[in-house]
């Protein structure tokens, strides 16, 4: 289907459309077979080229209900699709239900024609939308490519799309993933492969999840490919009997799944099952599989992925001992801050003191952790400060890490169990960093703990009372996440006792003054006395600083410690070539997508007007949804409000 569809030229497809409009039968083979079938079905539904259909679209509460219904699908697919969307700039990815209702949209937002944009809440059923990749993938139960001109009702639309269904272990359809890209892309089959890889990876994840209490054998002909989507998976019970075989494994093993299920793995491996299990008592083991017809490589994964080694891995836990530079007393920290912000920080400190939670919001490097530590210190230095980065922990470990577990809670649990970060923070402060990245299912458990103030460790029925102050932080706007259904509203209100929004460097009222302050403090710290050249300061203030304070600090400190001993004034020439380049080409400097919008906003009145018009258009394209529009523009929602205000 891939190559044949790719070979169809738009001229041939146009001719086919004309045949259809004249009521003539299409010559056999003129269209790709699945497109042909789809066009025939569309005609039977009364659709034909030129039909302008009314598309059903869910309102926000209906969409929330759909998302709740398909919560498991979203939790499974969301992180992977996000990653692909970040990779494939300029493409749009959709996650949809088995009846083609779009649950979420990622990346670019394409508009099909002046009437519809593709986004969450629309339903792409063939009966009203005509030929399209999501509908076809569901009907054909296979990956499909639908080129721009093959969309029966929208032949002049600017996009082509590929889609693949996501099947569960029984072969039932859980949903689908669509990838939409510009129609003139020369190699659409690349996207088809990408979407197949994505659904393949998700199906493997489902298999591992389903059989997490069992042994899972990965098989492939090549060691290098053992972790790829082309590897096959076999689930085994504790005695080595085969419980399930996925389609890839059946291919590698050269037999139908049904013929393999119920047989003993020793028949395939030649080794004793006991011996193999002993090899991988604490971790997965690599095996050579001497099979008739050739040698395969395998990896046998023991039941339950939660290994004690992984749980005690300190690298995934934010260290409890604070970095010296981050440990500043609250008053010293807010001394130079704008008055309103300093007032908010003091308010947060008072709130924390009486047990109210504090939420710190701000882009990366805006000083959330620094403020959290200062707030903690203002309560009394003797108490523990426990920071947990919710984004850095694998999803399967967060629960054990937060709530702890009892002895023998699962295979390989530490002797004596583990108290968990919440209990460790007892009497002190718990910082839940990047809380916006916490999976929805865990949010529910955390909410219960915060309400009831007791923790029940995994595998243990005893309740442990906890008494700690909570500071949550996120670079993502939690209100936006709540609106999008990605963060629980009730948890948001539980955490947002006092909200402090930390401004980006570009939002500082007196950035030049702040740069001088920071420079003076660094000079004191390093015992140097260099003057900052004013032309350089101008360049520094014009730069966008996507990494905020952290980036500024790196830039200034590197220049200071690298300056010649006799140097008295730091000018542009004193900076590294990389920094000189960044500061002279500010528009290109941004890895950060805020660069374009922000930079234009700093420009002339005319540019500002153009920027505003662009924002209004984007907002309209997103049905007035500020969250979605801000995301599409690559700026924060508050920035969007401000710029439009
Ligand atoms: N107001 C400030 N003045 C000067 N330096 C600051 C200020 N705020 C933060 N910094 C410095 O910026 C760096 C980053 O701060 P911090 O780690 O607190 O930011 P963050 O918002 O938690 O970042 P991330 O979200 O990436 O974890 C630190 O080295 C800190 O000392």
Q: How confident is the model at residue 567 (pLDDT cuts 50, 70, 90)?
A: confident
Q: How confident is the model at residue 413 (pLDDT cuts 50, 70, 90)?
A: low
| Prediction ipTM score | 0.97
464: β partners: 455
Taking only the tens place, the pLDDT of each residue in 89-108 is 889 999 999 999 999 999 98
- Measured in Å, residue 550 CA sits from the centre of ligand 1 at 6
Evaluated on CA atoms 177, 182, 188, 191, the torsion sign reads negative
Taking only the tens place, the pLDDT of each residue in 512-540 is 988 998 899 889 888 888 999 999 999 99
Q: Give, as one character, the DSSP assignment of residue 146.
A: E
CATH code 3.30.450.20 for 211-301: yes
Rounded Cα gap, residues 150 and 8, in angstroms: 9
> Does ligand 1 come within 6 angstroms of the Cβ of 362?
yes
Give the CA-trace dihedral at 270, 271, 276, 278, to 10 degrees. Answer: 170
Rounded Cα gap, residues 478 and 519, in angstroms: 33
Q: What is the residue-averaged pLDDT of the chain?
A: 80
- CATH 1.10.10, the chain: domain bounds: 594-644
**Overall average pLDDT of the 186-210 stretch:** 89
Q: Which atom of ligand 1 is nearest to the CA of 333?
A: 1
Beta carbons of 611 and 643 less than 8 angstroms apart: yes
> Does ligand 1 come within 6 angstroms of the Cβ of 494?
no
Rounded Cα gap, residues 479 and 375, in angstroms: 23
Please check the confidence at residue 123 and state whether its pLDDT lies above 80: yes
Neighbours of 496 (CB within 10 A): 17
Range with lowest mean pLDDT among 132-146, 295-309, 600-614? 600-614
- Measured in Å, residue 569 CA sits from the centre of ligand 1 at 26
Ramachandran sector of residue 386 (left: φ over 0; alpha: ψ -120 to 50; beta: rest): beta
Among protein residues, the one with the nearest Cα to ligand 1's atom 28 is: 550
CATH of segment(s) 594-644: 1.10.10
What's residue 316's pLDDT? 26
Please check the confidence at residue 288 and state whether its pLDDT lies above 80: no
pTM: 0.47
What's residue 344's pLDDT? 92
> Does ligand 1 come within 6 angstroms of the Cβ of 364?
yes
CATH of segment(s) 309-501: 3.40.50.300
Superfamily of domain 33-200: GAF domain (3.30.450.40)
**Overall average pLDDT of the 230-237 stretch:** 90
- Measured in Å, residue 320 CA sits from the centre of ligand 1 at 17
Beta carbons of 388 and 421 less than 8 angstroms apart: yes
Rounded Cα gap, residues 372 and 356, in angstroms: 14
**Overall average pLDDT of the 66-83 stretch:** 90
Please check the confidence at residue 258 and state whether its pLDDT lies above 50: yes
Question: 511 is written with which tokens?
Answer: 């950035």
Strands 498-501, 531-532: parallel, antiparallel or unpaired by DSSP?
A: unpaired
**Overall average pLDDT of the 53-77 stretch:** 89
**Overall average pLDDT of the 141-154 stretch:** 90
Q: How confident is the model at residue 53 (pLDDT cuts 50, 70, 90)?
A: confident
Higher pLDDT, 128 or 300: 128
Higher pLDDT, 393 or 436: 436
Q: H/E element holding 454?
A: strand 454-455
- Measured in Å, residue 504 CA sits from the centre of ligand 1 at 10
Please check the confidence at residue 271 and state whether its pLDDT lies above 90: no
Q: How confident is the model at residue 345 (pLDDT cuts 50, 70, 90)?
A: very high
- What is 505-589's CATH topology? Helicase, Ruva Protein; domain 3 (1.10.8)
Range with lowest mean pLDDT among 145-154, 175-184, 483-492, 594-603? 594-603
- Measured in Å, residue 372 CA sits from the centre of ligand 1 at 10
- CATH 3.40.50.300, the chain: domain bounds: 309-501
Rounded Cα gap, residues 614 and 639, in angstroms: 14
What's residue 488's pLDDT? 93
């Amino acid at each position: 289907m891939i190559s044949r569809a790719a070979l169809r030229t738009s001229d041939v497809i146009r001719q086919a459309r004309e045949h259809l409009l004249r009521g003539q039968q299409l010559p056999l083979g003129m269209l790709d077979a699945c497109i042909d079938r789809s066009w025939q079905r569309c005609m039977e539904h009364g659709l034909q080229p030129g039909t302008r259909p009314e598309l059903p679209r869910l309102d926000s509460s209906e969409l929330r209900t759909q998302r709740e219904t398909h919560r498991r699908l979203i939790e499974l697919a969301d992180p992977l699709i996000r990653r692909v969307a970040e990779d494939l700039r300029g493409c749009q990815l959709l996650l949809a239900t088995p009846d083609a209702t779009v649950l979420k949209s990622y990346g670019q937002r394409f508009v099909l024609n002046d009437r519809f944009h593709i986004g969450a809440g629309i339903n792409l059923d063939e009966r009203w939308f005509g030929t399209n990749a999501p509908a076809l993938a569901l009907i054909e139960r296979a990956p499909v490519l639908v080129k721009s001109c093959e969309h029966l009702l929208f032949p002049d639309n600017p996009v082509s799309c590929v889609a693949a269904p996501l099947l569960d272990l029984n072969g039932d359809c859980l949903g689908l993933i669509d990838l939409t890209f510009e129609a003139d892309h020369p190699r659409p089959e690349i996207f088809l492969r990408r979407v197949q890889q994505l659904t393949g990876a998700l199906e493997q994840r489902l298999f591992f999840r389903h059989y997490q209490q069992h042994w899972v054998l990965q098989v492939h002909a090549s060691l290098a490919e053992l972790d790829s989507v082309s590897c096959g998976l076999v689930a085994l019970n504790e005695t080595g009997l085969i419980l399930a075989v996925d389609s890839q494994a059946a291919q590698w093993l050269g037999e139908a799944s049904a013929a393999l299920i119920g047989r003993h793995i020793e028949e395939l491996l030649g080794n004793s099952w006991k011996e193999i299990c002993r090899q991988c008592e604490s971790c997965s083991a690599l095996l050579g599989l001497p099979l008739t017809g050739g040698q395969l490589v395998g990896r046998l994964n023991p039941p339950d992925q939660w290994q004690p080694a992984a749980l005690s891995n300190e690298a995934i836990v934010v260290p409890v001992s604070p970095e010296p530079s981050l440990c500043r007393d609250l008053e010293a920290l807010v001394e130079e801050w704008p008055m309103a912000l300093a007032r908010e920080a003091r308010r947060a400190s008072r709130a924390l003191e009486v047990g109210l939670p504090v939420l710190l919001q701000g882009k990366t490097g805006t000083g959330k952790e620094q403020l959290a530590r200062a707030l903690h210190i203002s309560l009394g230095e003797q108490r523990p400060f426990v920071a947990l980065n919710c984004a850095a922990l694998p999803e399967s470990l967060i629960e054990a890490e937060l709530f702890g577990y009892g002895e023998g809670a699962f295979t390989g649990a530490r002797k004596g169990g583990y108290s968990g970060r919440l209990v460790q923070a007892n009497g002190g402060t718990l910082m839940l960093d990047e809380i916006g990245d916490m999976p929805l299912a865990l949010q529910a458990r955390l909410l219960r703990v915060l309400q009831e103030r007791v923790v029940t460790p995994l595998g243990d029925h005893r309740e442990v009372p906890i008494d700690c102050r909570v500071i949550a932080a996120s670079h993502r706007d939690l209100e936006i996440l709540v609106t999008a259904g990605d963060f629980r509203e009730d948890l948001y209100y539980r955490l947002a006792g006092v909200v402090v929004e930390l401004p980006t460097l570009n939002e500082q009222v007196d950035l030049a003054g702040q740069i001088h302050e920071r420079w003076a403090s660094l000079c004191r710290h390093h015992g140097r006395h260099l003057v900052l050249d004013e032309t350089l300061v101008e360049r520094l203030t014009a730069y966008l600083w996507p990494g905020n304070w952290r980036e500024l600090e790196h830039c200034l400190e590197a220049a200071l410690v690298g300056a010649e001993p006799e140097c008295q004034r730091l000018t542009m020439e004193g900076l590294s070539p990389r920094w000189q380049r960044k500061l002279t080409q500010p528009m290109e400097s941004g890895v950060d997508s805020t660069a374009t919008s922000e930079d234009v906003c700093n420009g002339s009145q005319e540019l500002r007007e153009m920027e505003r018009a662009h924002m209004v258009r984007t907002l309209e394209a997103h049905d007035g949804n500020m969250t979605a529009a801000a995301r599409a523009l690559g700026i924060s929602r508050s920035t969007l409000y401000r710029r439009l205000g």
